[in-house]
Structure 1
Amino acid sequence: MFMEPITLSKTELEERLLEICTIIEETGRELIVTDNGKPVLKIVPYKKKGTVDEIFGKYYGKLVIHEDINTPTIDEWDDV
């Protein structure tokens, strides 16, 4: 689900900084800060990097390798 970024001028950001920070934290939306109507900054929520187990854990025990994964693949290039 894509959420449109919030766009504010530098002045509006200065006036509403705490409110906007809370919105970004809670919704994950990005913020585009403008100066004289032109985008100058993009503020994005911080995302914690996942561990290997968090990212690939659902695949443990489901991947089947039918040969030694360290086998050279030179023979494959001879066919090209």
Structure 2
Amino acid sequence: MATRDDNLTDVRTIKASEFKAKCLKLMDEVANSGVEIVITKNGRPVSRLVPYRDEEPTMFGRNRDQIRILGDIISPLEFDWDEERELALIQGKNPDKPAIGPK
């Protein structure tokens, strides 16, 4: 029996006894078709046979062993930061030219 699950993918349901008899054939079918098989016992789902997919690499740990920390990254920096000047530079304005206000 073929149905569709919540993710709108095809799903086939079979009894555990049928799965036991046709296990290798069913594995090939799933690999070739991409259709998931839900295996049931006494009418209740107990397992899923799904096609194997390589996991997408995550961002977490991607640069492990590629970045070195040189010096103290915890202590505060010891210089003054002119945030208004920095903002003017980011906005493409001349930070050294005084702003002209309304007259």
| Short-chain TM bin | 0.5 to 0.7
Partner residue of 1:75?
none
* Segments ≥4 residues shifted beyond 2 Å: 49-52
After superposition, give the CA deviation of every residue in 1:17-61 in whole Å (9 maximum; x if it has no partner).
111011000011111000011111112111013468xxxxxxxxx
Matched residue SS, 1:17: helix
Q: Does 1:11 align with 2:17?
A: yes
Structure number with larger C-alpha Rg:
2
Corresponding letter in the other structure for 1:18: L
Larger % of helix: which?
1
Alpha-carbon distance in 2 for matches of 1:23, 1:33:
14
Q: Which structure is higher in RCO with an 8 Å CA cutoff and minimum separation 6?
A: 1
The percent identity for this pair of structures is 25
Residues 1-80 of structure 1 mapped to structure 2, 5 A cutoff: 2-50=8-56
Classify 1:51/1:39 alpha carbon distance in 2 versus 1 (closer, same or farther; 3 Å).
Answer: closer
- Scaled by the length of structure 2, the TM-score of the pair is 0.44
Structure 1 segments unaligned to the other structure (5+ residues) = 53-66, 68-80
Q: Give the TM-score normalised by structure 1.
A: 0.56
> Distance between the aligned counterparts of 1:31 and 1:41, measured in 2?
8
What stretches of structure 2 of length at least 5 have no aligned partner? Answer: 1-7, 59-89, 91-103
Aligned residues: 52
